Structure 1
Amino acid sequence: MRQIILDTETTGLEPSQGHRIIEFAGLEMVDRKLTGRHLHLYMHPEREIDPDAERVHGISLDFLADKPKFHAVADELVDFISGAELIIHNAPFDVGFLNAEFSRLGIAPVDKLCALVTDTLRMARDTFPGKRNSLDALCDRFEIDRSNRTLHGALIDCELLAEVYLWMTRGQDSLLADAAGEDDAAAGSSVRMAFERKPLAVLPPSEEELAEHQAYLDLLDKSVKGTCLWRSIENPPLAEPAA
């Protein structure tokens, strides 16, 4: 299925209070690989930007002065996301803003335009209960480089979320394919580079590390809807007695 890694930046937190989208970014992914196709838009919100929101994303009304209003880019945005699965961190927030914008223009809501919406924040909370599961925290957990991210920007957040999503959904086949694929290695993704390890001294794992390992294997089992390869290696089936 075609997937769109999606993020927005807004004038505030509540579309019900008239807050608007000021930045949209989407990256296209097919067969777990970014295609290079993307859509990145800035929009004039026709209202002020809350100071707290501006401190987070750094987008000012002056910067948006010559940018198109949402209605002028709506068709392009709808064409880009239609029929795809949307991958969003804290999906209710972005979907709520998109639906509010669409409603103003008489456009169908996201659930009618798109095949599915996947919320990576909910996935992370299910996988790592009781832990911090912000995008920054997940990047740190998976050792994804976010050194270029000084402010919340929709496009760079999509790039980071794409890597986080691949980590969180790694099934047996995709894991092996990504580790061995020359095309993937050339792309230089930190998701794939994590498997290029030199021989290391063997140290006994701590109880916390063992728990993290089991949680990750549970995620792999869920992804492949069965028993992942690594559990089969750790617990090989008993050989049947000779007849």
Structure 2
Amino acid sequence: MTRQIVLDTETTGLSAENGDRIIELGCVELLNRKLTGNDLHIYFNPERESHEDALKVHGLTTDFLRDKPKFGTLANDIVEYLRGAELIIHNAAFDVGFLNKEFELAGLAPLRSFVSEVTDTLAMAKSVYPGKRNSLDALCDRFGVDRSNRTFHGAKLDAQLLADVYINLTRGQDALLIDVAADEPQQGAVLIVDLRTFELPVLVAAEHELAAHEEVLVQLDKSSSGRTLFRKIGEMAVA
């Protein structure tokens, strides 16, 4: 059973090494790519003010955070929640850096010592959509993910949006898996479809479709400095 945690943080600023702290942690759990509801959402007292620019992003004031727990008091519980999972994070280096600093201050080992792996959806998106905007907002718009209730950035809300984006971004990886137990997501039963049993029709592209395809390849050539993989594969096939 594959356990994934979609994770996001909000912080007092941009530099953990210069003393900025985590003020919000939001986690959404997926089992076999399905939401379980076993989520984690915590606000923290960072014992310092947020930078003005950061406050404009998350809107979490010092007064609001004053009575919240300090990260160190819950660090062990967070470790146990994350233990063994694959973490799905947008721009992972930022959040991992902050989490590692918080764990270090709490006398604990770094993140990668107790999770199975860390997947960066920003890196994934850049490889799929080179030269395009790949912020979380841009990906939500691209995949039709509703973010109309997002006034400020919030770790839990952003984790929920990212979970939806991740499923859309990786949907092709599971295109041949059909869930036969949709009402029992914990079971994770799947049916593997063998395409060898199908006679697939061959559709020849029309002239206008070929022209549109060539236009897209030209754009990709420009954004990738002539390293378009599709062209290289085509050249190899002809040779």
* 1:167 paired residue number: 168
Task: Provide structure 1 residue ranges, at least 5 long, that are not aligned to the other structure.
Answer: 185-203, 216-243
* 1:56 paired residue number: 57
* 2:118 paired residue number: 117
> How many matched pairs?
194
TM-score when normalising by structure 2: 0.75
Change (3 A) 1:102 1:143: same
Identity rate of aligned residues, in percent? 58
Change (3 A) 1:9 1:177: same
Change (3 A) 1:7 1:172: closer
* 1:36 paired residue number: 37
Amino acid at match of 1:121: L
Change (3 A) 1:208 1:163: farther
* 1:1-243 alignment, distance < 5 Å: 1-171=2-172, 173-174=174-175, 177=178, 183=183, 207=212, 211=216
How big is each residue's C-alpha offset from its partner over 1:163-199, in whole Å with a ceiling of 9 and x where there is no partner? Answer: 1101111136457636x87549xxxxxxxxxxxxxxx
TM-score when normalising by structure 1: 0.74
Amino acid at match of 1:177: I
* 1:196 paired residue number: none
Change (3 A) 1:125 1:173: closer
Q: CA deviation at 1:207?
A: 2.4
Q: CA deviation at 1:151?
A: 1.0
Q: CA deviation at 1:208?
A: 6.8
d(CA) in 1 for partners of 2:117, 2:174: 23
Change (3 A) 1:56 1:122: same
Task: Give secondary structure in 2 for the equivalent of 1:207.
Answer: helix
Task: Give secondary structure in 2 for the equivalent of 1:16.
Answer: coil
Change (3 A) 1:208 1:134: farther
d(CA) in 2 for partners of 1:139, 1:208: 25
d(CA) in 2 for partners of 1:97, 1:39: 17
d(CA) in 1 for partners of 2:156, 2:103: 21
d(CA) in 2 for partners of 1:65, 1:209: 58
How big is each residue's C-alpha offset from its partner over 1:41-86, in whole Å with a ceiling of 9 and x where there is no partner? Answer: 0000011111100100111111001101111111111111111100
Amino acid at match of 1:144: V
Superposed CA RMSD in Å reads 2.5
d(CA) in 2 for partners of 1:98, 1:107: 11
Change (3 A) 1:128 1:173: closer
Task: Give secondary structure in 2 for the equivalent of 1:18.
Answer: coil
Amino acid at match of 2:69: P
Task: Give secondary structure in 2 for the equivalent of 1:15.
Answer: coil
Task: Give secondary structure in 1 for the equivalent of 2:150.
Answer: coil
